[in-house]
Structure 1
Amino acid sequence: MLINSYQQRCARAQSKREVILRFLRDETWSNLTNLANMLGLSEPAAFKTVCQMERDGFLLRFKVTALRLSLWGITPQGLAFAWGDDEPMQIRPYFEPSKLSVMTIAHYLDIQRARLIAERAGWTNWIPGNRLPKDIKKRPDAIATNTEGQIVAIELERSIKTLKRYEAIFAIYLQMMKRDEYAKVYYVCPDASFAPRLIRMFELIKSVPVAGERVPITEKHRARFPVYALDTWPSKSG
């Protein structure tokens, strides 16, 4: 019985490692809060696992002094173990703290939060924006398949852009939707008080620039850019 219990503990520990490595082969780095949320564990329990993985060379810890925050990223060794024996390996970036921008860390972590919430709701095929082709005119923060089976773009919005910029973004995305690249573009806001203000901003968009002309925007067009706060994301209908 004791041997069986030990084997179960080992299997559980290995399973947690695999989940973390699979997540970080996509996301490269994260914080303890998101990793704990992904595992369904308390932060102290998750901390034990990531420290063991750091000790074994799978993860690298980096302290962001300005934010009083620690990040854990995947190492080359971690990437080597991030695919199962029956999966083809892919080239993915490993964690390089020197390439981090303090200004974008909160945004990146919020996108991960949106991912975890969406996947728990049944969304699939999440691809972070930095893994999308660099030559597309507008790279969203992520794309995914919602519960209706639609491929959608996700934008995490933390600050208001100018109306002119939103008009240009709408124009690009509407053309992409016309080509059936995306069904919708979901805007997600980490601050619940921010979301209604973004909706009001979108309501000011009456036309968008396309090929040197102004094309009118209807409510039907605007409905393809739904806005959510993280605590109401995603809607049950996807």
Structure 2
Amino acid sequence: MVEKPLMPVFEPARIRPSTLQHHLDNQWVRDKGCTHWISGDRGDFFKKYEVKHRPDGLITLPSGHRVAIETERTLKRNKQRYQSIMTSHLLGRQKKVWHRVFYVVPTAKQKSALQVMFNDIKFVMVNGKPVNLEEKHYNIFKFFTYDELAELAEITI
């Protein structure tokens, strides 16, 4: 009988370049002047926070506000996926898990495209019922390029 290792074994062949780049993007954001980074990639995230979608991470700004971080190297192709993620983020805010959501993308073109996609979402589904979105809902989401996010600590909510 072969014993199972206690710690996961690093297997370089199982890591795709896009996964590695996403991990590095998250690390870059984490090092921008905020505290209490909580990785959304950890299995106990769902145990601690009752949300359907895990952000890439949670940070605390110097103001004390907790922010969900989403790093997007490439944009998702369909609006419905963002609609589902948006629903989860709005519910996360309602549950006071986080105050805002920051999307971080490499280029201004991607930032613009993502903002257009979010603005095209007019409702979200909550408990099987459509909820029309208002300006207060859209204001929860902020979009940044990497260059704009030079210091998270300087961003005010």
TM-score band w.r.t. shorter chain:
0.7 to 0.9
TM-score with structure 2 setting the length: 0.81
* Pair 1:112 & 2:41 matched: no
Query: Which whole-Å CA distance do the structure 1 matches of 2:8 and 2:59 have between them?
Result: 20
Query: Which whole-Å CA distance do the structure 1 matches of 2:144 and 2:95 have between them?
Result: 25
Query: Which whole-Å CA distance do the structure 1 matches of 2:70 and 2:145 have between them?
Result: 12
More helix by share: 1
* 1:59-104 Cα deviation digits (max 9, x unpaired): xxxxxxxxxxxxxxxxxxxxxxxxxxxxxxxx98674424422331
Distance 1:141 1:130, change over 3 A: same
SS in 1 for 2:38: strand
Aligned twin of 1:236: 155
**Does the aligned pair in 2 maintain the 1:143–1:151 contact within 8 Å?**
yes
**Does the aligned pair in 2 maintain the 1:185–1:226 contact within 8 Å?**
yes
Aligned twin of 2:70: 155
> Any stretches of 5+ residues in structure 2 without a counterpart?
1-5
Q: Among 156, 161, 175, which residue is 2:91 paired with? A: 175
Aligned twin of 1:213: 129
Matched AA of 2:113? R
CA RMSD of aligned residues (A): 2.1
Aligned twin of 1:188: 104
1:128 Cα deviation after fit: 2.2
TM-score with structure 1 setting the length: 0.55
> Any stretches of 5+ residues in structure 1 without a counterpart?
1-90
Distance 1:133 1:163, change over 3 A: same
Aligned twin of 2:142: 226
Name which structure has the greater RCO, CA cutoff 8 Å, separation 6+.
Answer: 2
The percentage of counterpart residues that share the same residue type is: 35
Query: Which whole-Å CA distance do the structure 1 matches of 2:8 and 2:147 have between them?
Result: 31
1:140 Cα deviation after fit: 0.8
Query: Which whole-Å CA distance do the structure 2 matches of 1:108 and 1:220 have between them?
Result: 31
SS in 2 for 1:214: strand
Structure 1 or 2, whichever has the larger Rg, is 1
Q: Among 126, 131, 135, which residue is 2:42 paired with? A: 131
